[in-house]
Amino acid sequence: MEKIEKGNLYIVATPIGNLEDITLRAINTLKNVDIIAAEDTRHTLKLLNHLEIKKTLISYHRHNEEIRVGNLIEKLKEGKNIALVSDAGTPGICDPGHIIIKECIKENIKIIPIPGACAMINALITSGLNTNEFIFLGFLPLNKKLRKEKIEEIKNSNKTIILYEAPHKLKNTLQELQEILEQRKVVIARELTKIHEEYIRGTIKEIIEKCDNLKGEIVIIIEENKNSKQENKLNNLSLEEHYKYYEKNGLDKKEIIKKIAKDRNVNKNEIYMKFYNK
Ligand code: SAM
């Protein structure tokens, strides 16, 4: 039987503002594929013109994802290489991508990530908040009940939380967050990699006072709940289990002992003595 050649699907990250934030590998991939599937072909055309790349563009966005996927899979099966790009940053992160990726896995088509810019990672690393453990929640749900449940989840989380938000909804969202989270520390990362890049740090209340008429693109990073019930659950573990929990999370002995002492509200020497021979 004739072997069906399969093309590859390349998931190519593009800049989130500054056009220099594109890797050499991303440029080469965009040059070498047969087709570029783009969230907004006009938007991607500007990037391609800047890079002096001429390529066939096919639109692939939230509203035609289900319809387009069959056609793109056919082309991949014919042996065509396709690059998937979104308007900004990493496809699949609050952008189309998930459906075609699932389909490629089903059809045994190779998916190759071409890493690059992503707003949430860059907001997190510059936030000054805990980067060891974090949760990305994307945009909060619009449905009131689900939204409230999510914010309750944030309240109890002992991990840094990252949210995307539109600027005109920021104040309202911060007010909703304040009702449940009260005085939690928050960082607003605005216009990352662009001329007006800015970080606003403070309690939710302080930020609400500063966020009238804020424009541009925004990421909200929320400090972990340091007294969360999730963390307190660790106190129900045996000391050995408690130790292993932090060990699995990559902490060294000194850090683990400090953490356990803090969780259990005991002197760290007491814990140190217990693990002296470990
Ligand atoms: N796929 C993108 C990524 O990798 O970050 C995210 C796309 S999502 C539709 C758009 C949201 O990402 C914006 O509403 C904003 O919250 C965030 N975002 C994108 N670019 C940004 C930037 N330059 N500065 C701050 N936030 C940005």
The CATH number of the domain where 138 resides is what? 3.30.950.10
User: Using alpha carbons only, what angle is made at residue 58 by residues 6 and 194, rounded to the nearest 5 degrees?
Assistant: 110
What atom in ligand 1 is closest to the CA of residue 89?
A: 4
Same domain as 124, residue 111:
no
Q: Is residue 229 part of a domain?
A: no
24 in any annotated domain = yes
**Domain final residue, candidates 89, 117, 145:** 117
Ligand 1 atom 16, closest CA = 164
Q: Whose CA is nearest to atom 23 of ligand 1?
A: 192
CATH number at 16 reads: 3.40.1010.10
Tokens standing for residue 139: 């945009």
Q: What does the alpha-carbon distance between residue 230 and residue 19 come to, in Å, rounded to a whole number? A: 41
CA–CA separation, 36 vs 152, rounded Å? 41
Q: Is 137 close to ligand 1, i.e. is its CB under 6 Å away?
A: no
State how far the Cα of 180 lies from the Cα of 241, in Å rounded to an integer: 32
- The atom of ligand 1 lying closest to the CA of 165 is 16
Q: Say if residue 35 is in the same domain as residue 113.
A: yes
- The confidence score (pLDDT) of residue 24 equals 97
Question: In this structure, is residue 56 part of a structural domain?
Answer: yes
Give per-residue pLDDT as tens, 124-170: 999 999 999 999 999 999 999 999 999 999 998 999 999 999 999 99
Among 16-30, 169-183, 216-230, 262-276, whose mean pLDDT is lowest? 262-276
Q: Which of 14, 217, 221, 222 to mutate to test the pocket of ligand 1 (most atoms within 8 A of CB)?
A: 217
Q: Which range (54-58, 122-126, 231-235) has the least confidence?
A: 231-235
From the CA of 53, how far away is ligand 1's center (Å)?
A: 24
- Looking at the chain, the whole-number percentage of residues with pLDDT higher than 70 is 96
Q: What's the domain range around 38?
A: 9-117
In a domain, 230, yes or no: no
Ligand 1 close to Cβ of residue 90 (< 6 A): yes
Provide Rg for the chain, Cα atoms: 23
> pLDDT for 186-207, tens place per residue?
999 999 999 999 999 999 999 9
Give yes or no for residue 97 having a pLDDT over 90: yes
Q: Are residues 142 and 107 in the same domain?
A: no
Please work out whether the CB of residue 166 comes within 6 Å of at least one atom of ligand 1: yes
Mean pLDDT of 73-87: 97
Q: Which residues pair with 186 in a beta bridge?
A: 202, 222
* Ligand 1: nearest atom to the Cα of 117: 4
**Residue 270 — very low, low, confident or very high, per pLDDT cuts 50/70/90?**
confident
205 and 242 share one domain: no
Task: Give the angle 137-131-201 at the CA atoms, nearest 5°.
Answer: 80
State whether 153 and 102 are in the same domain. no
Asked whether residue 111 falls in the same domain as residue 131, the answer is no
Residue 135 lies in a domain: yes
Q: Are residues 58 and 129 in the same domain?
A: no
Helices (H), ranges, 78-143: 98-106, 119-127
At 232 the pLDDT is 63
Statement: residue 4 has pLDDT above 70: no
Pair (81, 38) in one structural domain: yes
Which ligand 1 atom sits nearest the alpha carbon of residue 120? 5
Query: Is residue 16 in contact with ligand 1, taking CB distance under 6 Å?
Result: yes
Q: Final residue of a domain: which of 94, 117, 140? A: 117
Q: How many domains does the chain have?
A: 3
Ligand 1 pocket residue status of 122, Cβ below 6 Å: no
Question: Is 0.85 surpassed by the pTM of this model?
Answer: no
94 lines ligand 1 (CB under 6 A): yes
**Cβ-count burial 187-214 (b if 16+ within 10 Å, e if not):** bbbbbbbeeeeeeeeebbeebbeebeeb
**Is residue 164 in contact with ligand 1, taking CB distance under 6 Å?**
yes
Residue 3 confidence (pLDDT) above 70: no
Give the Cα separation of 162 and 267 in Å (integer).
33
What is the pLDDT averaged over residues 92-117? 97
Please give the structure tokens belonging to residue 77. 């099966």
146 by DSSP, 3-state: which? Answer: helix
Considering the domain architecture, whether residues 52 and 151 belong to the same structural domain is answered as no
Residue 3 lies in a domain: no
94 CA distance to ligand 1 middle (Å): 8
Q: Which one-letter amino acid corresponds to residue 236? A: N
Query: Do 251 and 193 belong together in one domain?
Result: no
Residues 110 and 147 in one domain: no
In this structure, which residue's CA is closest to atom 8 in ligand 1?
Answer: 94
Residue 91 lies in a domain: yes
Tell the residue number behind the tokens 């509203």, with chain if given: 63
For residues 254 and 171, state if they share a domain: no
The residue among 87, 117, 147 that closes a domain is 117
Task: Give the mean model confidence (pLDDT) for residues 64-83.
Answer: 95
Quick one: average pLDDT of 232-248?
A: 83
